[in-house]
Structure 1
Amino acid sequence: MPKNWKTYKLTDLGTIARGKSKHRPRDAAHLYGGKYPFIQTGDVKASNHRLKIHKQTYSEAGLAQSKLWAKGTMCITIAANIAETAILEYPACFPDSIIGFVADPEISDIDFVDYLMQYFKKQIQTHSIGSVQENINLATFQRIEFLVPPLPEQHAIASILSAIDDKIENNLAMNKTLEDMAMALYKHWFVDFGPFQEGKFIDSELGLIPEGWEVKSLDEEFSITIGRTPPRKEPNWFSKISGIKWISIKDMGNSGTYIFNSSEYLTEEAIKKKNVPVIPSETVILSFKLTVGRVAITTEEMASNEAIAHLKRNKHTRIPNTYSYLYLKCFDYNSLASTSSIATAVNSKTIKGMKIIVPENHINESFDKEVLPLFNQIKNNSHETETLTQLRDTLLPKLISGEVRLKEFEEEITAAL
Structure 2
Amino acid sequence: MLVLIFFRSVAIASMTGSSGRQRVQTDVVQNYIFKFPDYQEQKAIASVLSSLDDKIDLLHRQNKTLESMAEALFRQWFIENPQGSQDELPLKEFVDVIDNRGKTPPCFVASTAYPIIEVNALAQEGRNIDYSLIRKYVDKQTFNSWFRKHLEPFDVVVSTVGSIGVFAMFFGGNACIAQNVIGLRAKDKISNYYLYQWLLFHSDEIKELDIGSVQPSIKVPHLLSLPMKIPNEEKIIEFDNHLKTIVQKILNNCNAIIHLEKLRDTLLPKLMSGEVRVKYAKE
Q: Tell me, yes or no, if structure 1 residue 182 matches structure 2 residue 70.
A: yes
Q: How far, CA to CA, are the matches of 2:233 and 2:157 in structure 1?
A: 23
Q: Which of these two proteins has the greater Rg computed from alpha carbons?
A: 1
1:201 corresponds to:
none
> Would the aligned equivalents of 1:119 and 1:396 in 2 still touch at CA under 8 Å?
no
Q: TM-score, normalized by length of structure 1? A: 0.56
1:378 corresponds to:
250
Q: How does 1:272-311 map to 2 (within 5 A)?
A: 272-301=144-173, 302-311=175-184
Q: How far, CA to CA, are the matches of 2:12 and 2:194 in structure 1?
A: 42
CA separation of 1:321/1:350 partners in 2, compared to 1, >3 Å: closer, same or farther? same
Question: Offset of 1:114 from its aligned partner?
Answer: 4.2
What SS does the corresponding residue of 2:34 show, helix, strand or coil? Answer: strand
1:89-131 CA distance string (max 9 Å, x none): xxxxxxxxxxxxxxxxxxxxx242244256357469x7xxxxx
CA separation of 1:377/1:370 partners in 2, compared to 1, >3 Å: closer, same or farther? same
CA separation of 1:122/1:187 partners in 2, compared to 1, >3 Å: closer, same or farther? farther
2:121 corresponds to:
251
Q: Which segment drifts farther, 172-181 or 247-256?
A: 247-256
What SS does the corresponding residue of 1:390 show, helix, strand or coil? Answer: helix
Q: How does 1:2-401 map to 2 (within 5 A)?
A: 110-117=1-8, 119-120=10-11, 122=13, 146-191=34-79, 193=80, 195-196=81-82, 211-228=84-101, 231=104, 234=106, 237-254=107-124, 256-259=126-129, 261=131, 262-301=134-173, 302-313=175-186, 316-331=187-202, 332=204, 333-337=206-210, 340=212, 343-401=215-273
1:35-89 CA distance string (max 9 Å, x none): xxxxxxxxxxxxxxxxxxxxxxxxxxxxxxxxxxxxxxxxxxxxxxxxxxxxxxx
What SS does the corresponding residue of 2:116 show, helix, strand or coil? Answer: strand
Q: How far, CA to CA, are the matches of 2:77 and 2:119 in structure 1?
A: 30
Which structure 1 residue ranges, 5 or more long, are not aligned? 1-109, 127-138, 197-209, 408-417
Q: TM-score, normalized by length of structure 2? A: 0.80
Q: How far, CA to CA, are the matches of 2:148 and 2:269 in structure 1?
A: 37
Q: How far, CA to CA, are the matches of 1:356 and 1:227 in structure 2?
A: 25
> Would the aligned equivalents of 2:85 and 2:230 in 1 still touch at CA under 8 Å?
no
**Structure 1 letter corresponding to 2:115:** K
> Would the aligned equivalents of 1:116 and 1:400 in 2 still touch at CA under 8 Å?
yes
Which structure 2 residue ranges, 5 or more long, are not aligned? 17-26, 279-283
Q: How far, CA to CA, are the matches of 1:351 and 1:117 in structure 2?
A: 49
2:22 corresponds to:
none
Identical aligned pairs, as a percentage? 25
Question: Offset of 1:152 from its aligned partner?
Answer: 2.2
> Would the aligned equivalents of 1:334 and 1:342 in 2 still touch at CA under 8 Å?
no
Q: How far, CA to CA, are the matches of 2:120 and 2:3 in structure 1?
A: 30
- The alignment covers a number of residue pairs equal to 265
> Would the aligned equivalents of 2:67 and 2:126 in 1 still touch at CA under 8 Å?
no
Question: Offset of 1:280 from its aligned partner?
Answer: 1.0
What SS does the corresponding residue of 2:147 show, helix, strand or coil? Answer: coil
Q: How far, CA to CA, are the matches of 1:180 and 1:143 in structure 2?
A: 53
More contact order relative to length (CA 8 Å, sep ≥ 6): 2
More strand by percentage: 1
Question: Offset of 1:174 from its aligned partner?
Answer: 1.0
1:351-406 CA distance string (max 9 Å, x none): 3323322302111112222333222211111111111112122222333344x214
Question: Offset of 1:295 from its aligned partner?
Answer: 1.0
> Would the aligned equivalents of 1:292 and 1:343 in 2 still touch at CA under 8 Å?
no
